[in-house]
Chain A
């Protein structure tokens, strides 16, 4: 059967694995978007720029911090960056939310989209001005270099780590939101903020922290992506359009939906690259168009 399709079993499995890796990126990024949209009703177009900032902070920490402080020991390792970058970008996100986004909650979705889109352009423009477009090298950390021979291909250890890390974070996020008390407060606050506030829960604080968390997820994905993709100001823009399509297909606001759809679409994209590579950039949008016609709320979404 495989010979008929023009590919060996090894070829197919390796492409599916690569699709799974890309799918993990889509999953974690669309999770951040879904969390922000589900809780805040804001379409966060600056998600890609925040992903890029996470990668840049990891790179700056590793290569520039020693230069600024004059001491080689100040270099921020990859593992530290995995924690520091999301924190820093998350704080930046909270700052944006407190100063600008909170004024838009009562308005149409469009205003949030325009504001965050404008922010994305500014952030990307600044980084492009400071660092140029060709991008910077970020080496894979020593402990994750090399590849594992899984029989049908050599799987780089780092890419295996990416799958593990993003799926763990996605699952942890889903668990917190769907299965814990804190999560239930969040979900209640989205449905009826006034009532929840009347119960004594600090709703504005929850909203701010939620935005910060969603942004931190993007930055975490950025650090994961830094060794794979060149750290460049346009790395977010390249990825975010696809991620938005993923979120639309999964259904805006559905946590599980965005994770499952992200992985699934990564696999479909991987398969397309095997059989008709020229279409691999387009296939996700074709699916989005079809899903929108058949189920406008998305595969897992609820009608709002």
Chain B
């Protein structure tokens, strides 16, 4: 805080001494003269396709578009790093970025353990985190901070979407195959609650080390339970391997698999033949409407794959952040956070969406079903949009929130 005031004062003095008539009089006073955004993601491991390099590209696109349309008066820089899905690596990198490199905002933070590790560091250093990749409801629950925005999705939305839909289809007994870390536990709990609330039963669960390679033993346990539905509370290559191996062991189609967190990149790997009929919940689909198609095609030109909701979320959140800095006239954390929370988001990603006190962006979700191979007419044409889940249904109700910042 003090550092920002001092450097802001220095910059103001310099600008003031430069020219009497200055159009820069209204220029935002940014710390160190540049707004630095750090993309901290998984560049080489289990989640690098759903986030990874695509996240960096999305952030760059946002900066370039902002500079073009706003003729931004301040410099913007993007840095990126690989946290390898490890919390300690992530928090060390974040500290280095905040203390040494003057990074003002860190985004992506795929893998819940990295998000939970970096958020307190950002609070301590009074910088902003905008989580797009991680999923646990702890981020806006017990672990919420007032310098954090949880932008794209969380395990509650997935549970309400996929969980409810599958139970309504007759899948009323569940067994969970869970990745043994914060995200998996969170997804298992939230989905279990939804299943029970809708009249179903949870017969049990098994936790596998994260990341895993061979799921055959765990899948056999799920098979032995006799549950109608096996809920996959994992993501990325863990999910795709579980699905492949379940088919191999004759577990499907007798039992249904519910991919509780699946991305379009996973469906691409599995192929429509294997994934057809599966339900999933996403906060974004590239083929939703003309606006999403236009943006996604631009993204595709640079990344050669269609965007996942994480990528779209990073573009939208980075743009929202930069617009807030411009409108607020500073990159001071408290002012920018207030500006971001008071301004609605209105772009291809979300319409009339607002950020709540706990940092959660409240926006619509979509229940999707994977098409059959013969129903797909062009590359990446993978989903039927079965339902739009209204924004307020897809977030933890304020009354149930465990975040101390929330006034109930």
Residues of A within 8 A of B (CB): 8, 10-11, 14-15, 18-19, 21-22, 128, 132-137, 140, 147, 153-154, 156, 158-159, 228-230, 232, 234-235, 238-239, 270, 273-274, 277-278, 280-282
User: What per-residue 1/0 map shows which CB atoms of B258-273 lie under 8 Å from chain A?
Assistant: 0000000110111100
Q: A230-B244, A274-B217 are in contact. Are A154 and B250 (CB under 8 A)?
A: yes
In the assembled complex, which residues on chain A have CB atoms less than 8 Å from the CB atom of B45? 133, 234
CA–CA, A222 to B334, complex, Å?
Answer: 54
In contact, B216 and A281 (Cβ under 8 angstroms): no
What are 8 A-B pairs with beta-carbon distances under 8 A? Answer: A11-B221, A18-B217, A135-B237, A136-B269, A159-B248, A228-B214, A229-B214, A230-B237
Q: A134-B269, A154-B250 are in contact. Are A277 and B207 (CB under 8 A)?
A: yes
Q: A10-B224, A132-B49, A134-B240 are in contact. Are A19 and B266 (CB under 8 A)?
A: no
CA–CA, A228 to B247, complex, Å?
Answer: 11
In the assembled complex, which residues on chain B have CB atoms less than 8 Å from the CB atom of A140? 248
CA–CA, A15 to B52, complex, Å?
Answer: 35
In the assembled complex, which residues on chain A have CB atoms less than 8 Å from the CB atom of B221? 11, 15, 274, 277
Q: Please report the total number of B residues contacting A with Cβ < 8 Å.
A: 37
The 5 closest A-B pairs by CB, nearest first: A281-B209, A273-B217, A134-B49, A154-B250, A133-B48
Given contacts A137-B244, A228-B248, 4 further A-B contacts (CB under 8 A): A18-B220, A228-B214, A230-B240, A281-B209
User: What per-residue 1/0 map shows which CB atoms of B136-177 lie under 8 Å from chain A?
Assistant: 000000000000000000000000000000000000000000
In contact, B208 and A128 (Cβ under 8 angstroms): no
In the assembled complex, which residues on chain A have CB atoms less than 8 Å from the CB atom of B209? 277-278, 280-282
User: What per-residue 1/0 map shows which CB atoms of B107-143 lie under 8 Å from chain A?
Assistant: 0000000000000000000000000000000000000
In contact, A135 and B240 (Cβ under 8 angstroms): yes
Among residues of B, the one whose C-beta sits closest to the C-beta of A22 is B214
User: What per-residue 1/0 map shows which CB atoms of B211-222 lie under 8 Å from chain A?
Assistant: 111101110110
In the assembled complex, which residues on chain A have CB atoms less than 8 Å from the CB atom of B216? 18, 21, 159
Tell me whether B180 is interfacial, beta carbon within 8 Å: yes
Tell me whether B256 is interfacial, beta carbon within 8 Å: no
CA–CA, A238 to B218, complex, Å?
Answer: 18
Interface residues of B in 53-108 (CB under 8 A from A): none
Tell me whether B245 is interfacial, beta carbon within 8 Å: yes
Tell me whether B276 is interfacial, beta carbon within 8 Å: no
CA–CA, A8 to B213, complex, Å?
Answer: 25
In contact, B269 and A137 (Cβ under 8 angstroms): yes
Among residues of A, the one whose C-beta sits closest to the C-beta of B270 is A137
In the complex, how many angstroms separate the beta carbon of A177 from the nearest chain B beta carbon? 29
CA–CA, A36 to B184, complex, Å?
Answer: 40
CA–CA, A89 to B244, complex, Å?
Answer: 27
In contact, B44 and A137 (Cβ under 8 angstroms): no
Interface residues of B in 227-266 (CB under 8 A from A): 236-237, 240-241, 244-245, 248-250, 265-266
In the complex, how many angstroms separate the beta carbon of A223 from the nearest chain B beta carbon? 17
CB contacts between A and B, total, < 8 Å: 98
Among residues of A, the one whose C-beta sits closest to the C-beta of B269 is A134
Given B206, B237, B268, B269, which contacts A277 in the complex, CB threshold below 8 Å? Answer: B206
Q: A133-B44, A134-B240 are in contact. Are A158 and B220 (CB under 8 A)?
A: no
In the complex, how many angstroms separate the beta carbon of A166 from the nearest chain B beta carbon? 15
Question: Which of B45, B216, B274 has the most C-beta atoms of chain A within 10 angstroms of its own C-beta?
Answer: B216
Question: Which of A133, A158, A229 has the most C-beta atoms of chain B within 10 angstroms of its own C-beta?
Answer: A133
In contact, B237 and A156 (Cβ under 8 angstroms): no
CA–CA, A234 to B245, complex, Å?
Answer: 18
Given B220, B240, B268, which contacts A11 in the complex, CB threshold below 8 Å? Answer: B220
In the complex, how many angstroms separate the beta carbon of A139 from the nearest chain B beta carbon? 10
In the assembled complex, which residues on chain B have CB atoms less than 8 Å from the CB atom of A153? 220, 249
In contact, B248 and A11 (Cβ under 8 angstroms): no
Given A14, A135, A158, A238, which contacts B269 in the complex, CB threshold below 8 Å? Answer: A135
In the assembled complex, which residues on chain B have CB atoms less than 8 Å from the CB atom of A134? 49, 236-237, 240, 265-266, 268-269
In the assembled complex, which residues on chain A have CB atoms less than 8 Å from the CB atom of B180? 277-278
Given A136, A154, A232, A274, which contacts B249 in the complex, CB threshold below 8 Å? Answer: A154
CA–CA, A132 to B236, complex, Å?
Answer: 13
In the complex, how many angstroms separate the beta carbon of B52 from the nearest chain A beta carbon? 7
In contact, B52 and A133 (Cβ under 8 angstroms): yes
Among residues of A, the one whose C-beta sits closest to the C-beta of B271 is A137
In the assembled complex, which residues on chain B have CB atoms less than 8 Å from the CB atom of A238? 211, 213
In the assembled complex, which residues on chain A have CB atoms less than 8 Å from the CB atom of B48? 132-133
Question: Which of A21, A136, A278 has the most C-beta atoms of chain B within 10 angstroms of its own C-beta?
Answer: A278
CA–CA, A158 to B180, complex, Å?
Answer: 28
Q: A133-B49, A277-B208 are in contact. Are A128 and B44 (CB under 8 A)?
A: yes
Among residues of A, the one whose C-beta sits closest to the C-beta of B263 is A134
Given A14, A156, A281, which contacts B248 in the complex, CB threshold below 8 Å? Answer: A156
Among residues of B, the one whose C-beta sits closest to the C-beta of A133 is B48
In the assembled complex, which residues on chain B have CB atoms less than 8 Å from the CB atom of A280? 208-209, 217
In the assembled complex, which residues on chain B have CB atoms less than 8 Å from the CB atom of A239? 213
In the assembled complex, which residues on chain A have CB atoms less than 8 Å from the CB atom of B248? 140, 147, 156, 158-159, 228
In contact, A273 and B218 (Cβ under 8 angstroms): yes
In contact, A278 and B220 (Cβ under 8 angstroms): no
CA–CA, A9 to B208, complex, Å?
Answer: 22
CA–CA, A19 to B216, complex, Å?
Answer: 9
In contact, A14 and B220 (Cβ under 8 angstroms): yes
User: What per-residue 1/0 map shows which CB atoms of B261-300 lie under 8 Å from chain A?
Assistant: 0000110111100100000000000000000000000000
In the assembled complex, which residues on chain B have CB atoms less than 8 Å from the CB atom of A22? 214
In the assembled complex, which residues on chain B have CB atoms less than 8 Å from the CB atom of A18? 214, 216-217, 220
CA–CA, A273 to B215, complex, Å?
Answer: 10
CA–CA, A232 to B236, complex, Å?
Answer: 13
In the assembled complex, which residues on chain B have CB atoms less than 8 Å from the CB atom of A156? 248-250
In the complex, how many angstroms separate the beta carbon of A267 from the nearest chain B beta carbon? 12
Among residues of A, the one whose C-beta sits closest to the C-beta of B180 is A278
In the complex, how many angstroms separate the beta carbon of B76 from the nearest chain A beta carbon? 28
In the complex, how many angstroms separate the beta carbon of A227 from the nearest chain B beta carbon? 8
Among residues of A, the one whose C-beta sits closest to the C-beta of B214 is A22
Among residues of A, the one whose C-beta sits closest to the C-beta of B211 is A238
In the assembled complex, which residues on chain A have CB atoms less than 8 Å from the CB atom of B271? 137
Given A154, A234, A277, which contacts B217 in the complex, CB threshold below 8 Å? Answer: A277
Among residues of A, the one whose C-beta sits closest to the C-beta of B244 is A230
Given B217, B237, B265, which contacts A232 in the complex, CB threshold below 8 Å? Answer: B237
CA–CA, A135 to B241, complex, Å?
Answer: 10
In the complex, how many angstroms separate the beta carbon of B59 from the nearest chain A beta carbon? 19
